[in-house]
Structure 1
Amino acid sequence: MNPASTTLSHTLVLVGCGNMGYALLRGWVNSSTVHSRNVHVIEPVAALRERAALLGVNTHESCETLPAKADLIVIALKPQALQSELPSYRRFSRGTVFVSIAAGVSVGTLKSLLDSARIVRAMPNTPTAIGKGSTIVFSGSAVGQTDLENVKCLFEAGGAVHQVAHESLIDAATAISGSGPAYIFYLIECLTDAARELGLSAEIAGKLAKETVHGAAALAFDSPEDPAELRRQVTSPNGTTAAGLSVLAAENALSSLILRTTKAAFDRSLELGVPMQGR
């Protein structure tokens, strides 16, 4: 389904409009995937509510003023907020598909909080705001194919969408693509700091770091070669790149660090769902 040529006529509710919620909302409206007049945003923080209103959508401080019917409700709340907030949406359970982007919170937990089995879990990332995102989705068994395609269409407005057959893989995706942009941003910070240590100005250091990461990622994405081959192509024997890589590869330094980093994110994703599942 091509979001550029598909506009959903559904009534869409977005619960929470923080950084990720707003990134999704902006992608939906800017791509015309939804009509802004059909979108209702629930956001208790006035400044965030006003920011959303600038996109032409309907805004509400609480769910009490929502219309009686909603086709899709996207839950963009922190996992810790779901226990207290979601029961208020049970009145929509009969005819609505719920989509949760809360890390670590299982379909089973969401089902008990919402009194509905029509649930999709999704894990987008912040590049969704500029159409370069990556989203993993998992559908509960009660969600029909048409409804699932509509959910995919929403997230395709922000980039690539991948469906997984097992719910546990959502937590794995959270550790890679969900949290991954922060790892890359930190890499840019570190490259910038290193460039300054080597004598480059702050302005040039920052630009070189961003351009290098952006260019390398674009080349990896567009090239038919795998990243290992691209690395070999830029690494001349006994050259400068080989000298740098010898540090990163020594005792699998970088590989081990990335594994520990993603494992920590994965474990935390699992932990976020445990308190609610035990109640």
Structure 2
Amino acid sequence: MAIHHSFGIIGGSGQLGGAIARQLLLTGTLAPDHLWISNTSGKLDGFRKWPFVRSTTDNQELAQACETILLSVPPHVAKGLELKAEGRLVVSVVAGLTVERIGEMTGTTRIVRAMSSPAAEYGLAYSPWVAAPGVTEKDRETVGFLFKACGLTDEVSNEDQIDRFTALTGPVPGFVALFADCMAQYALRHGVDPKIADRAVRQLFHASGVTLSETEPTPAERVAEMIAYAGTTAAGLEVMRNSALSQAISDGLDAAYDKAKSLG
């Protein structure tokens, strides 16, 4: 599967835009001579393998040249972004940027609002998206090709869910890293060598992620299995379930959601 038309990324050399761009090229989803990247420097750091990728400092030049445009700039930059893109498919992965605002900025009705993460570079992102009424079935195919190259993807039913997923799955690996650090610090407090603690915790989270991804049981079913086994893990899980941990996680996600909403 591939995208067979000109495709531009505004902010395509940034952390997220660059990750998506390189994955599209690495997977053959997009040919190098079909890709345009716009940034403030005009340089293409990280794209030496693909000399035919085109660069510009002029967002409007990119918009005129490309049939599909991906917006991947920081929210504060997006607030000042204006370009004429009538009739183009515009996909945004800018946190908080609403479909309504994208339409005002670009003049198009073919709008997809999405979220993704830099894990796209490894094909490990989760990228949900919502389509405006003007999006066609062909547009949906293009968006599917784009985000399937980057990992897993789903079309969701409403825009609010994009803000929820921005909180839930956007901060890779921030929330998981916090949990991992708590476990590593526990090991350090009990005399474990820092390098060994780091190695052990990294492997635990790697194995846990692969197991959750590649096997059928849900996270809730995994917890139930461990508690039913009544071993050492069950003893720890029972204490955690009866603590304020769940509420603290919920409060943290609410704070991230509120921030996503405020950015728009």
Matched residues, percent identical?
Answer: 25
| Contact 2:10 2:69 (C-alpha < 8 Å) held by counterparts | yes
Relative to 1, partners in 2 of residues 1:271 and 1:66: Cα closer, same or farther, differing over 3 Å? closer
Aligned residues: 261
Q: C-alpha offsets along residues 93-122 of structure 1, whole Å, 9 cap, x if unaligned?
A: 23x111111111111111111111111111
The residue number in structure 1 matching 2:2 is 7
Measured after TM superposition, the shift of residue 142 of structure 1 is: 0.5
1:21-100 paired onto structure 2 within 5 Å: 21-45=17-41, 49-56=44-51, 57-63=53-59, 65-66=61-62, 68-85=64-81, 87=82, 89-90=83-84, 92-94=85-87, 96-100=88-92
Counterpart pick for 2:258 among 251, 267, 276:
267
| Contact 1:12 1:70 (C-alpha < 8 Å) held by counterparts | yes
Measured after TM superposition, the shift of residue 231 of structure 1 is: 2.3
1:196-211 paired onto structure 2 within 5 Å: 196-211=188-203
Measured after TM superposition, the shift of residue 221 of structure 1 is: 2.2
| Contact 1:126 1:181 (C-alpha < 8 Å) held by counterparts | no
Segment of structure 1 superposing worse, 198-207 or 151-160: 198-207
How far apart in 2 are the matches of 1:206 and 1:124? 27
Measured after TM superposition, the shift of residue 53 of structure 1 is: 4.9
1:180-191 paired onto structure 2 within 5 Å: 181-191=173-183
Measured after TM superposition, the shift of residue 29 of structure 1 is: 0.7
**TM-score (normalised: structure 2):** 0.91
Q: Which structure: greater helix fraction?
A: 1
Measured after TM superposition, the shift of residue 194 of structure 1 is: 2.1
Give the unaligned 5+ runs of structure 2: none
The residue number in structure 2 matching 1:134 is 126
SS, match of residue 46 in structure 2: helix
The residue number in structure 1 matching 2:237 is 245
Q: Are residues 1:151 and 2:147 paired?
A: no
| Contact 1:75 1:99 (C-alpha < 8 Å) held by counterparts | yes
The residue number in structure 1 matching 2:102 is 110
The residue number in structure 2 matching 1:177 is 169
Relative to 1, partners in 2 of residues 1:192 and 1:27: Cα closer, same or farther, differing over 3 Å? same
| Contact 1:125 1:181 (C-alpha < 8 Å) held by counterparts | no
How far apart in 1 are the matches of 2:41 and 2:247? 41
CA RMSD after TM alignment: 1.9
Measured after TM superposition, the shift of residue 46 of structure 1 is: 6.2
Segment of structure 1 superposing worse, 206-215 or 59-68: 59-68
Give the unaligned 5+ runs of structure 1: 1-5, 274-279
SS, match of residue 74 in structure 1: strand
The residue number in structure 2 matching 1:164 is 156
Measured after TM superposition, the shift of residue 177 of structure 1 is: 1.1
How far apart in 1 are the matches of 2:34 and 2:219? 43
How far apart in 1 are the matches of 2:250 and 2:106? 35
